[in-house]
Amino acid sequence: MIIRCKAPLRLGLAGGGTDVSPYSDIYGGAILNATINMYAYATIEPATDGKIVFEFPDRGVRESFVQSDFIEPQGVFLLQKGIYNRIVKNFTHRPLSFKLSTFMDAPSGSGLGTSSTLVVAILGAFTEWLKLPLGEYDIARLAYQIEREDLQMAGGKQDQYAATFGGFNFMEFYQDKVIVNPLRVRQSYADELAHNLVLYYTETSRLSAKIIEMQSRNVKEQNQQSLDAMHKVKEQAIMMKEVLLRGDIDNIGKILDFGWHYKKMMALNITNPLLDGIYTAAIQAGATGGKVSGAGGGGFMFFYCPNLTRYAVIDALKSFGGKAKRYEFVNEGVKSWATV
């Protein structure tokens, strides 16, 4: 038997960063995101040889262990080890033997929620294999706990829920709960948005943890400029929800530009000269707004390009060494299946 699972990556359209503690704990956060047809994949092959194998087949990286109740969570397979330890602790209470292979359609650190989405995909595969009693909220919450509590990885909460639920969602974040509000966005609106929203990979990556840690510190220290900016970014999520549901798609560029103006004030290193240059070039070529996807510092950016300006924008960005990426929005979240 072979168990497979895939979970979609996401575009954070508005409100990014307000899902990060302690801001969300104190003030409540709000985010609007949407999943796209780029995925994290996990394959589990149960074994009887008493070994545990983790591998990235596309990178030729592999680690093997004698099965045990606990594997020290460190190294390149940090996430995989953390997930395995939780599965044993919470569910099986005994060691397992298997090979776990994982792959992603986007590089780590690209701003599309890759790490959290990979955790969701792996949890989905274990849920399918072991028939665990986990619903959507359970999987997302467990993914968050593994990353943020067990492995002490800095970050927010939106990615785990986006990958699990899929589609367009307006999410609310509080100290002890997350509310996922699925949006009934008309397909024609989603198609128009995908046509006009250019996704651009800067060919750079970043460590989001440092940016997120600084953002959290600004909240703890009551940095007023940073706090005011976060409040505005939260307002942006509400604005984005309203125009999406009404189909007022061409106003999305202005809302993205509004959010990007304030997001840059939330912490240092969210932007840099390269990203500023890319943003300026896109606007001059006809885009009406955009942002960096994820915490900032590098990775993917996206720009709203009304009418047919996408082609001029893509051409203008060629000189920066990155590339535009085709995609579509998808409504399905984490999905698992087994083959004999």
In a domain, 218, yes or no: yes
Query: Does the pLDDT at position 206 exceed 70?
Result: no
d(CA 164, CA 153): 19
Q: Which of 100, 119, 103 lies closest to 163, judged by CA?
A: 119
Distances (CA, A) of 234 to 15, 28, 57, 66, 255: 5, 9, 40, 47, 12
Q: Does residue 256 share a domain with residue 111?
A: no
Say if residue 245 is exposed, middle or buried (CB neighbours under 10 Å; 0-12, 13-18, 19+): middle
Residues 124 and 234 reside in one and the same domain: no
Number of H helices, E strands in the chain: 11, 12
Choose among 237, 175, 160, 212: nearest CA to 27: 175
pLDDT for the residue 213: 86
> Residue 232's pLDDT band (boundaries 50, 70, 90)?
very high
Report the distance separating Cα 166 and Cα 152, nearest Å: 25
The domain that contains 90 carries what CATH number? 3.30.230.10
What is the chain's length? 340
The answer to whether 40 and 159 have CB atoms below 8 angstroms apart is: no
> What is the value of pTM for the model shown?
0.95
pLDDT above 80 for 205: no
- Does the pLDDT at position 321 exceed 80? yes
Which is the catalytic residue, given 58, 69, 105, 159?
A: 159
Q: Are residues 171 and 202 in the same domain?
A: no
CB 153 within 8 A of CB 115: yes
pLDDT tens for 26-83 read 999 999 999 999 999 999 999 999 999 999 999 999 999 999 999 999 999 999 999 9
* pLDDT the model gives residue 215: 86
Higher pLDDT: 294 or 318? It is 318
* Annotation marks residue 176 as catalytic: no
Per-residue exposure over 149-161, b if at least 16 CB sit within 10 Å of its own CB, e if not: ebbebbbbbbbbb
Question: What pLDDT score was predicted for residue 207?
Answer: 65
Residue 272 lies in a domain: yes
Lowest mean pLDDT among 82-86, 142-146, 210-214, 246-250: 210-214
